[in-house]
Amino acid sequence: MRPLAEPAATDYQAVVAAAGFSLGVRCDEDEIHRIDFLPPTAEVAPRNALAAEAARQIGAYLADAEFAFSLPLRPSGTPFQRRVWQQIAAIPTHQTRSYGDIARALHNAPRAVGQACGANPFPVVVPCHRVLAAAGGLGGFARHRAGFLLDVKRWLLAHEGR
């Protein structure tokens, strides 16, 4: 569950600025713990080698949507959430799936898929922005149905040519 108050940029081992938003990376030396979307903020220089690699890979993706991530992600989530995230990670760049498509593949309900998408601790790396509502509507994003994060989802989809 995301904290109620937005963490300060200094709570991250790196912050990468993007067009209209930033990405905060939390990690130790071995694994990425989570990546958070933040309002536009100053970059924070990486504090360890893995944070530097995460910042490099995020920057590469922001420059080229075809970039493929290869970061060590800390195992997290329930078994169902991990199955949803595995399905999402398999969606190719420039393509989308609906919550219903993923639900059918997992023999579950679209609402449960949406909840698992909202709990994704590794957005962009596990591209939950590629999951849309029925009939191509945006649906939600990171447990929000309006505002800043929907703008981020729109930007990511446009960046990937969708």
Q: Which residues are the active-site residues?
A: 128
Q: Do the Cβ atoms of 12 and 25 come closer than 8 Å?
A: yes
Q: Angle at Cα 132 formed by Cα 130 and Cα 133, nearest 5°?
A: 170
Q: How far apart are CA 120 and CA 85, in angstroms?
A: 7
Rounded distance between C-alpha atoms, residue 85 and residue 159, angstroms:
21
Q: Judging by beta carbons within 10 Å of its beta carbon (0-12, 13-18, 19+), is residue 49 exposed, middle or buried?
A: exposed
CB atoms within 10 A of CB 87: 20
